[in-house]
Amino acid sequence: MVLKVGDNTPDFTLQSNEGKKVSLKNYRGRRVVLYFYPKDGTPGCIQEAGRFRDLAEEFGRDNAVIVGVSMDSVESHKKFKKDDDLPFALLSDLEASVIKKYGAWGRKDLYGKHTMGVVRTIFLIDEEGKIKGIYKDVKPEEHAEKCLLDLKKPGFKQAGAVRNAPDSWTEW
C-alpha cells in the first residue's frame, strides 16, 4: 500500500537514541515532521539534521516535533545526536520495516552505481495523525525550510501537498 496525503499514518514503535521505545501515537495532539534519512554522520545527513536542528525552536512554536528515522543502531544515533547537537529524537529501524511501510525504501543512483536503500522522505503529519504532506527525493540543504513554511500555511489541517521532485508540487 502506498501512503498518500489524507491517509492516517500507520503507527509504529521503534527504539530511540536514548534506548527507549517510542510510538508515533505518543505524538498525537502535536504536528510531526517524520523524516527518513540514509545514514548517521554522512555529509548529506549532517546537513539535513543540522537544518532541522537550526529550525527546531521555530517548529516547536508551531506545535511540531521532529523525528528522524534511519537503519542505524541506537549507539550510532547517540553519537550522531551528541556530535551534531540534535534536539530531537532519532529512531532506529534496523530491519527497515517502518522505512518500507512509509515508502522510503527504493532505488538510489549515485555516481552511476545503482543500489537499494533509504531514500530521503519526509511526512508532515497533523495533530490527529493524518498525512498532510509528503516530500520525496529531497535536497538536504533546503527541505527543512519548506516543511516549516507548509506547517505555517493557513488551513494546514485541511490541505496537503506531495513533493515528488525539487520543483514540482501537487496540491490535494
Active site positions, annotated = 45
Interacting residues of 18 by C-beta distance below 8 A, sequence separation 6+? 78, 89
What are 91's three cell numbers? 529512531
Tell me the C-alpha distance between 41 and 6, whole Å. 33
Cβ 147 vs Cβ 120: under 8 Å: no
Q: What is the dihedral of CA 135, 120, 164, 122, to 10 degrees?
A: -10
Cβ 66 vs Cβ 49: under 8 Å: no
Cβ 33 vs Cβ 143: under 8 Å: no
What are 19's three cell numbers? 534506548
Cβ 36 vs Cβ 120: under 8 Å: yes
Output phi, psi for 66, to 5 deg: -100, 135
At residue 133, the 3 state secondary structure works out as strand
